Structure 1
Amino acid sequence: MPSNVNTLPTLLPASETIFELTVPILIAGAGACGLVAALAAHEAGCEVVILERDPLPRGSTSMSLGALCAVGTRDQSERGVLDTADLFTADVMAKTGGQADPALAHAVGRLSGAAVDWLRDRFDIPLTLDTTWKPAFGHSVMRMHVTPGRSGADLMDRLLYACDLAGIPILTNARVTNLFAERDEVMGVRYKRPDGSTEDIGCGALILATCGFGGNAGMISRHIPDMANARYFGWDGNRGDGILLGAALGGEMADMDAYQGLGLLADPAGIDLNPRFLIEGGIQVNREGLRFSHELDDLSGQGARVIAQPGGVAWVIFDERIHASCADLPQYILLREAGAVVQAGSIETLSARCGINAQGLQKTLSDITDSQTDRWGRLFTGPQLQPPFYAVKVTGALFHTQGGLNVDAEARVLHPTGRHLPNLFAGGGVARGISGRGPSGYLPGAGLCTAIALGYAAGKSAADLVLAGRPKLGTNQPTGPLLGENQRDGTSVR
């Protein structure tokens, strides 16, 4: 499917196809959601194969900060943080203005903590509470969890290693393009190779985990027209394939105008600046040196606010204290290596180096007080910014779409009538998120949170379905190891 279309793919008749291979569970997509789903299904006793469109499994997870919000984890409890699915749901509903699905938000909250503890205990993936992420942007308590590498790439490496140890086959260079179906039941898939050849494989259940549609210009124009001309800072392979496949089978799409924006993309370096710089007391100003928003109010919506400034850019201003506290963040290290961080001993020098109005910046800094809420509703509670000062020039961008197939608490794809499709599951960017409509309902870490929570649910639910014998697998189901060795080199399963 080219990146500028949004038509539904053709369903293929399963009755006219004899699959050379049928596997219990197929997973389309080897990002965080797909890998977690595979681990959950494998642990439940089901053989599973992952199909990945790219030469290497990386995707949106690898581009992220690697931080996910999780609720009620053992690490939270040990650090005295009281968090529940009810509290998380209340935060989600408040942030989205009541637009999110409360049942889905509650399920994601409940599943996220269980999944994080399970990944730590069972697969030695050390997701721990990051106490430097203070409650902000809609979170009422500390619930951001990270791996030691503090990056999405580190999280991906650990998940891939866990799948390697489990012997889970990952077939790369295999893009799922069509579903074989009888009515609304998936019987198999067709996937395409880079050379244009296609291969077919049957399945007892299918989990769609191919991420969102940020890289599909046609779908963006149709569903998020306000961001049609915005810079896209996401994985190019996010073409909406899974969403369109599920919709072709009868799955309902929901909240398709929801997205995660980004107002902290370093310009022109193209590296995202961690929100901690703002949480710790940093500010954003435009070319006139003036603030234009409550920087901690709307992490995702800040992208559009930055784009609306003169030249579509802004500067994050912070000081030595904040610089020192964030010095070990991987993205910040890259920004310093790229020369994207400006340092100066005075406001005048900083302004001259950045092209900011010095008088405006001086007034902005002198107006900041910790005694009262400012005109945008922000109350500064930390020390005032002091020289030497630092600045990073940033712009706004579209990072990730949040709309997708409507799913229930077990990650089953729902029909518009409310019933679930027999053996189709979805998670990650394929599934409807918990951000409501538009950009402003997004909470930090919610993307990875739903990916891991719904991946965990999808893997367990699909395994329960298959092991219960519904639907029955074909007579050509393999009885031994599916591929013998875990493969990521594009080798055919046939």
Structure 2
Amino acid sequence: MAEPEFGEQTIDDSVPKVRDAADVTVDVETDVLIAGGGGTGLVAALAAADRTDGMVTVLEKSHRLGGNTSLSTGMIPAAGTRFQREAGINETPADMARDILEKNDYEADEAMVEHLCTESTNLIHWLVDDWDITLQFVDDFTYPQHSTYRMHAPDGRNGENLIEELGERIEATDNIELLLHTPVRQLVADGDTVVGAVAGETHEEVIGAQKVILATDGFAGNRRMVERHCGQISDALYFGSDGNTGDGIRWGAALDAELACMDSYQGHATVVQGTGALSTYAVIMNGGFLVNEAGNRFGNEAKGYSALAIDVVEQADSVAYEIFDERIFEKLEGEFDDFDEAVELGSYLSAPDIETLATELGCDPAATADALESYNDAIRDGKPDSVGRSDGRSVLEPPFYGATVTGSLFHTQGGLVVDEHGRVRKSEGGVVENLYAGGGTAVGVSGHGAGGYLSGNGLTTALGLGRLAGVHAASSIDD
């Protein structure tokens, strides 16, 4: 049998993941080596550069920075920030932690959730004050099951803008070296201690490093790993970064790292079929709803876009129909880059009445009209509607808008277990010396499956663990 391609391996494959230091010759050295140039890697690099004059090297295997962060809204949840206080919101990290834990039924590591929520305050202030990153407080809507406003967003509420600014700061920092088209292939270890990596696209080099941070994201782009660990969503559309091939998780596992929640992932319920654009969930949380081909409601949209993704996938042809009105359209236009892009791509249809819209979309006109009437009546009566939804609703009035959407897989949430500094923990106790992980490479804070994902959990671990790992790695370098 041929060896699996790079990126299509599973944890159990025999393809070498770690090289013995005695069997290689170091070609070049750095102080902190970061594998991955997404949100985790870029934040880790800036945090490390804050703490050392030594060289920090970021290796990104693709032709551009970003990873999953660039595909997100870039909105970072944080509790206790001055931006909240300026908006009259007095929230503590414990409040944010409670929302996260209640969403995942307390399946996540409570201590880590609390730690990252506390770190979220420092993260936001550090990004804005120390690195002049543009973040604006979002106080015009909340995602499902967030008890208050706590999102801090880049321009356009678009992760690409956040990545662009982080990349600019990286380029302007003298002791950070950034290399694109340079995939890390294997780790190099001296016994149980990581001492570098083998990297390169066409010509491999051995890079010696005092500390290595894995920021290679999760495994949602690796079909074999998804089928093995997240079979429920394996047939859905993949809407994540091409780099999510599980590399860092496999390397860590080869060093006896502890793994957790490998069945956890973030799905999304409203990717537009045909155009491939993301219809921001703000459409739903401002009052939109979904029906299936028969024109019937089928899931409580307020449980969140991740949990609802499975409900959409289970409908005929794995599609649903998003229904909203002109008020919502006009409110979101110009506020979300994702929404504007979807509009430009022709994702939305409009019609003067619900029956005409349903006919154009392809769902049953009479049943869709009944669903709309029932939805509006429940709001006017102040009661939960037919699917039990009571949050984020508004009476919808003509003219109406709609889109055909499908459920998708964004990124996985299971991975390497890390400590409070982002150091990779071993399955039998202790840590893998000199090895750190964050973002999708590390286990997230969403518990198991798709239902525990609270909006923003991905960036909580990506940027939070990135900063913690960068600070600790640089601070513990041998002089």
TM-score > 0.5 by shorter chain:
yes
Partner of 1:477: none
SS at match of 1:166: coil
Name the aligned partner's letter for residue 33 of structure 1: T
Choose which of 221, 230, 243 in structure 1 pairs with 2:227: 221
Which of residues 442, 453, 462 in structure 2 aligns to 1:442? 453
Mapped pair 1:52 → 2:69: no
Determine whether 1:155 maps to 2:162: yes
Report if the CA contact (8 A) 1:207-1:425 is conserved. Answer: yes
Which residue of 1 is the match for residue 207 of structure 2? 201
1:360 paired residue number: 367
1:252-293 CA distances to partner (integer Å, 9 max, x unpaired)?
111000000111100011111111111111111111221111
Distance across 2 between alignment mates of 1:126 and 1:38 = 18
**Which string of whole-angstrom CA distances, capped at 9 and with x for unpartnered residues, describes residues 54-100 of structure 1?**
12223211111222212222211111122222112211111001111
Provide structure 1 residue ranges, at least 5 long, that are not aligned to the other structure: 473-494
Matched to 1:105, the amino acid is V
Question: Of 12, 16, 25, which residue of structure 2 is paired with 1:9?
Answer: 16
1:91 aligns with 2:99: yes
- Residues 1:453 and 2:464 are matched in the alignment: yes
260-269 vs 360-369, which deviates more?
Answer: 360-369
Residue 337 in structure 1 maps to residue 348 in structure 2: no
Superposed CA offset, 1:376-409 (max 9, x none)? 3212575410000000110011111011100111
What secondary structure sits across from 2:306 in the alignment?
A: coil
The equivalent residue for 2:84 is 76
Aligned counterpart in structure 1 of residue 406 of structure 2, from 395, 400, 414 = 395
Is the 2:38–2:67 contact (alpha carbons within 8 Å) kept by the matching residues of 1?
Answer: yes
Q: Structure 2 vs 1, CA of residues 9 and 111 (structure 1 numbering), >3 Å: closer, same or farther? A: farther
Secondary structure of residue in 1 paired with 2:302:
coil
Does 226-235 or 4-13 show the bigger shift? 4-13
**More displaced, 115-124 or 56-65?**
56-65
Check if 1:378 corresponds to 2:389: yes
CA distance in 2, matches of 1:246, 1:17: 19
Match of 2:252 among 246, 256, 271: 246
Partner of 1:171: 179
Residue 10 to residue 354, structure 1, CA distance change in 2 (3 Å):
closer
Distance 1:133 1:169 in 2: 39
Aligned equivalents of 1:172, 1:342: Cα separation in 2: 40
Q: Which moved more, 1:77-86 or 1:259-268?
A: 77-86
Aligned length: 465
Q: 1:39 is matched with which residue?
A: 46
- State the match for 2:239 in structure 1: 233
**Counterpart residue identity of residue 399, structure 1:** F
Distance in 2 between the 1:210 and 1:76 partners? 32
Contact 2:171 2:178 in 1 (8 A): no
- 1:300 is paired with a residue whose SS is helix
Determine helix, strand or coil for the equivalent of 2:63.
coil
Confirm or deny: 8 A CA contact 1:63 1:152 kept in the other structure. yes
| Alpha-carbon displacement from aligned partner over 1:325-366 (angstroms, at most 9, x marks no partner) | 101121221222211111111112111211121111111111
Hey, what does 2:200 align to over in structure 1? 192
In the alignment, structure 1 residue 29 sits paired with structure 2 residue 36 = yes
Show the counterpart of 2:295: 289
Corresponding residue for residue 314 of structure 2: 308
Q: Alignment partner for residue 124 of structure 2, among 112, 116, 126?
A: 116
Letter in 2 for 1:463: A
Contact 1:213–1:219 (CA under 8 A) maintained in structure 2: yes
Report % sequence identity: 38
Match of 1:131 among 131, 135, 139: 139
Please give the secondary structure, in 1, of the residue aligned with 2:115. Answer: helix
Query: The residue matched to 2:238 in structure 1 has which SS?
Result: coil
Deviation, structure 1 residue 418: 3.0
Task: Out of 5-14 and 86-95, give the one that drifted further.
Answer: 5-14
> What is residue 488 of structure 1 aligned with on the other side?
none
Q: What stretches of structure 2 of length at least 5 have no aligned partner?
A: none
Alpha-carbon deviations, 1:425-478, whole Å to 9, x = none? 000110100000000000111111211100010000101211xx2xx7xxxxxx
Structure 1 residues 383 and 300, CA, compared in 2 at 3 Å: closer, same or farther?
A: closer
Relative to the length of structure 1, the TM-score reads 0.91
Residue 107 of structure 1: CA displacement? 1.3
Instruction: Report which stretch shifted further, 230-239 or 155-164.
Output: 230-239
Counterpart code for 2:348: V
CA distance in 1, matches of 2:69, 2:453: 17
Deviations, residues 186-212 of structure 1 (Å, cap 9, x unaligned): 11110131x3x2111100000000111
Q: Which moved more, 1:44-53 or 1:153-162?
A: 44-53
TM-score of the superposition, structure 2-length normalised?
Answer: 0.94
Once structures 1 and 2 are overlaid, which stretch shifts more, 123-132 or 155-164? 123-132
What is the identity, as a one-letter code, of the residue corresponding to 2:288?
A: G
Name 2:331's counterpart in structure 1. Answer: 325
C-alpha separation between the residues in 2 aligned to 1:378 and 1:280?
Answer: 13
Residue in 2 aligned with 1:475?
A: none
Alignment-mate amino acid for residue 397 of structure 2: Q
Cα-Cα RMSD: 1.5
Rounded to whole Å, the distance in 2 between the matches of 1:229 and 1:346 is 35
Q: Cα–Cα, structure 1 residues 77 and 460, in superposed 2: closer, same or farther, change >3 Å? A: same
CA distance in structure 1 between the aligned counterparts of 2:170 and 2:76, rounded to whole angstroms: 20
Amino acid in structure 1 at the alignment position of 2:366:
Q
Whether contact under 8 Å (1:269, 1:338) holds in the other structure is yes
Quick check: 1:347 aligned with 2:361? no
Q: Distance in 2 between matches of 1:317 and 1:82?
A: 35
Q: Is the 8 A contact 1:40 1:456 kept in 2?
A: yes
| 1:427 aligned partner, one-letter code | G
Q: Which whole-Å CA distance do the structure 1 matches of 2:391 and 2:451 have between them?
A: 22
> 1:113 is aligned with what amino acid?
T
